[in-house]
Structure 1
Amino acid sequence: MARSDGRLLVFAVAVSLLAIQCQSFGMKQKVTNLHFFFHDILSGDKPTSVRLAAPKNLSSLVKEKLFGTMFVIDDPLTEGPEADSKVLGSAQGYYIISGQDSPMLVLAADYGFTTGPYNGSSFSLFSRNPVMDTDRELSVVGGRGAFRMAQGIAKLHTHSIDAATGDAVVEYNVTLFHYE
């Protein structure tokens, strides 16, 4: 058996044991679908995404692509794409521009809800995000509250982007598998 096959087998056994343990504690698996908009604002007086670090001594070609730059986010999550739409919560975390040849992000963020039936609950993403693709999928790797031990997929669609400022609105359709 190849080394990666062994790791996959260990992971599958661990997930199965976790599911059995959750069921033995009376927890039931549930599926939740979420829809919201994510506003990543780099411009203006109150940006929601701020550059934290950038590499020194970059060539001008690499500087244009911002390779190695890290941003910290506190981005609002809203019902609709408009800036004044009802706020449902926020995504807090960071992303790093990790693509040398094309803009590619690695995103690590907690999507927390502050209103509605999921108030106080959150799920977490940690995934590669090919931002130049209009449609893409990211991995859900955890959750808390109503989304305890979440796994799933977030389907993203770029709703709008301002090429001059980098400000973007992204539509999210998220499917969560979690325990209650």
Structure 2
Amino acid sequence: MAPKSIATLTKLSFLILLVIFASSQAYDYHFIETNMTLYFQEYYAGPNATVNKLTRIPGNIWAFDSFGTTYAVDDQITQSPDKNSSKIARGQGIYITSSLDGANMQVLISIVFTSNEYNGSTLEIQGCNIQRADVKEISVVGGTGKFKFAKGIATFETICTHKSIFYSLIRCNFTVLHY
């Protein structure tokens, strides 16, 4: 009885391997690399605020470097640094000051494209924002539409800040691989 069971098990194993091999061939996608520069138009206070305070730890101050402070964001994203240039997306998500010393923020941002060839597509950005770094690197962990299965890196750099109007211009360069 044992030899027949071994033969059946061997045939079954071979069949499983054949199915796995065949299915992997059916999904032989080629990655596309996309590089893009976008500009986040961010107002962190005032009547046009695109960043809004959500919560903080009682007793702590409302500040980007105060542990536990959480913000919602909905920034306009443009094609060029000029805030009146073509609006191509929105940067929507949350920031949480996640280190006790306030040096790091957890960033969860969806770039939601609203025009051009990427209209309706998204890129998902998640990771640690080292606030004192001149250029911050954060992972691209997914995407939809034209950016299905995206993975890559996004760098953020503050180009200018105008404290009198609570405004910052942030350049985002990203490189993503997607199908």
On whether the aligned pair clears a TM of 0.5, the verdict is yes
Uncovered stretches (5+) of structure 1, i.e. residues with no partner: 1-16
In structure 1, what is the equivalent of residue 110 of structure 2?
Answer: 110
1:30 aligns with 2:26: no
Map 1:123-162 to 2 at 5 A: 123-162=123-162
Among 37, 43, 65, the alignment partner of 2:45 is: 43
How big is the shift at 1:103? Answer: 3.4
Task: Structure 2: state its 5+ residue gaps.
Answer: 1-19
Report % sequence identity. 28
Q: Is the Cα contact below 8 Å between 1:65 and 1:100 reproduced in 2? A: no
> What are the equivalent positions in structure 2 for 1:41-80 lying under 5 Å apart?
41-58=43-60, 65-80=65-80
* Cα separation, 1, equivalents of 2:64 and 2:106: 18
Deviation of the 1:156 alpha carbon = 1.7
Paired letter, 1:34: M
Amino acid corresponding to residue 169 of structure 1 in structure 2: L
Q: Is the 8 A contact 2:67 2:102 kept in 1?
A: no
Q: What residue number does 1:98 align with?
A: 98
Shifted more, 127-136 versus 115-124: the winner is 127-136
| 1:177 to partner: Cα distance | 0.5
Name the CA shift for 1:64/1:176 in 2 (closer, same or farther; >3 Å).
Answer: closer
TM-fit CA distance, 1:40? 2.2
Partner of 2:16: none
String of CA shifts for 1:16-47, please: whole Å, max 9, x gaps: x9xx85x6235331111111111221122121
Conserved 8 A contact 2:46-2:165: no
Q: Aligned residue pairs: how many? A: 158
Alpha-carbon distance in structure 2 between the residues aligned to 1:95 and 1:48: 12
Computing the radius of gyration over CA atoms, which structure comes out larger, 1 or 2? 2
Alpha-carbon RMSD across the aligned residues, in angstroms, is 2.4
